[in-house]
Amino acid sequence: MPPNVILIMTDQQRADSLGCTGNPVARTPHIDALAARGAVFRNHFTPHQICSPSRSTLFSGLFARHHGLTRNGVALPEDLPLITHDLKDAGYRTHGAGKFHFQPILAGPEHEMPDSNAFWELPQSEGWTGPFYGFDKVDILIGESVSATEGGHYANWLRETAPDAAALYLPENALEPGPEDLDEVWKSAIPSELHYNNWITDRACGFLEEQDGEQPFFLFVSYPDPHHPFSPPSPWCDMYDPQEVPAPALTADELAAMPSYILDGDREEAGKSYVDFLRNPGPPREQGFMQTTQRFSEVSLRQAIAHTYGMVSMIDNCIGRLLAQLEAQGLAEDTLIIFTSDHGELLGDHGLIRKGPSPYRPLLHVPLVIAGPGVAPGTREGVTSHLDLRATLQAHLGLENRRHDGQSFQAMLTAADACGRSHLYAEYHPRTRMETYNQTLLTEEWRVTIYPENPEWGEMFHLTEDPGEHVNLFFHPDYTAQKQAFIEQMDREFPPAAQAGGPSLATY
């Protein structure tokens, strides 16, 4: 029988947030133990730094321009073949628990989309558990933090289990007052046992308890954290001393040489906070809510970072429970386990927070740990992409090789010294400001980003000399020839597609 597969995904987690990836303070013993017996991919990237496009690319093996979900607020076509369909056709039982985000959260009831809050007000939501994008059954959670209690199976469960508990997620009910200059930071009063991370883990463990070893399974376990707001519950909100977390990486005035929209965005973000937006979205705003940290005190920013680490450790604890359940079922030796995230978080680097159009490394660079049958332990330095995961699983599990844009890195699973990609592409499709559409070419030595709708903008970083991407060389005369060669390569291999994608159904 082929091995089982568990895909664990977090939301907005940086590659450098784990002990096994070199973080000096992160306490992630369970993920680190998984890494010790598996492969740690040190240069793994997503081609899209926004939630829905990245998740859809991982599952489909297609760039967003090809699968259609180019921006949050667009729905992934329901007839598109995904890795779940590959596995079902090979005899796998498929189940998902947690955040999917294949459809707009705010899609209207007329669309009848289970990934939207409105669906859960319809009569047909009663008792609904799937099928859903190739999953036989799902336990759906929608959103994160204060927005996770409105629709989906988790919201229904919380109302039935603890009718008044939803209000405990709100910042006004926090365990103690948060900083006035950064309202996304608070210590959530929701008891840990009622928190959605533990609910997701309970549902995943319940699925594992049902397995008898006679049919292979695919289990998707998807945590909404450590996505902002930065609001973990106790004890995780107090796990890290804000003065001991790594400080953001930035240099003086580095944003002055970057595209002007980065500093312009501060004006939009000053109008309404992200928490207010979640409660009452109003007009569309650009995806990611990127802004500078100049209005935040160092104390507040460090508290946000400490809370992010707390959320990471909470998820690690949940993964420990999941792995213990797998072991108790006698399935550990026969299960391929994949841990990753959809995209990263700026977290103060470059003087910026959250995410946005600019494809900085903290946004595209995500963790990837794979352990299980056929995987040789050790680190992998070669470049890999979310785009390649479907092709890799097809090769590693002997599935039918269906159409995709990726290339298999299955050789890297079995041999630590196997080569990765020579380069990869990334792309950002905006929601409101079309000139921020951009394309990126990334190699081990360079990152070049162009804005086809605005040639006055561009980004070019020599990663060998400047791995932190602090010195923009795009308009430096000494690099004109090198830049032009990269632009011509992009035009040949990955030409602009600013208008690609399906219709926007909602703000997100």
pLDDT at residue 264, rounded to an integer: 86
pLDDT tens for each residue of 193-244: 999 999 999 999 999 999 988 999 999 999 999 999 999 999 999 999 999 9
Burial status of residue 48 (CB atoms within 10 A of its CB: 0-12, 13-18, 19 or more): buried
3-state class (DSSP) for residue 139: strand
Q: Is the pTM of this model over 0.85?
A: yes
pLDDT at residue 272, rounded to an integer: 60
Mean pLDDT (the chain, rounded): 96
SS (H, E, C) 193-259: HHCHHHHHHHHHHHHHHCCCCCCCEEEEEECCCCCCCECCECCHHHCCCHHHCCCCCCCCCHHHHCC
Burial status of residue 256 (CB atoms within 10 A of its CB: 0-12, 13-18, 19 or more): exposed
pLDDT tens for each residue of 167-197: 999 999 999 999 999 999 999 999 999 999 9
Domains, the chain: 4-251+295-422 (3.40.720.10)
pLDDT tens for each residue of 84-126: 999 999 999 999 999 999 999 999 999 999 999 999 999 999 9
Alpha helices for 106-222 (secondary structure H): 153-161, 196-209
Greatest C-alpha distance within the chain: 65
- Angle formed at CA 265 by CA 264 and CA 268, multiple of 5 degrees: 115
Which residues lie across from 44 on neighbouring strands? 384
Given a cut of 60, whether residue 422 has pLDDT beyond it is yes
pLDDT tens for each residue of 29-52: 999 999 999 999 999 999 999 999
Q: In 3-state terms, the chain is what percent helix, strand and coil (to 5)?
A: 35, 15, 45
Please give the share of the chain, as a percent, with pLDDT higher than 70.
Answer: 99
Taking residues 460-478, report their average pLDDT.
98
Asked whether the bond before 235 is cis by omega within 30 degrees of 0, the reply is yes
Residue found under tokens 């049902």: 210
pLDDT at residue 230, rounded to an integer: 97
For residue 268, name the pLDDT band (cuts at 50, 70, 90).
low
Return d(Cα 229, Cα 227) in angstroms, integer: 6
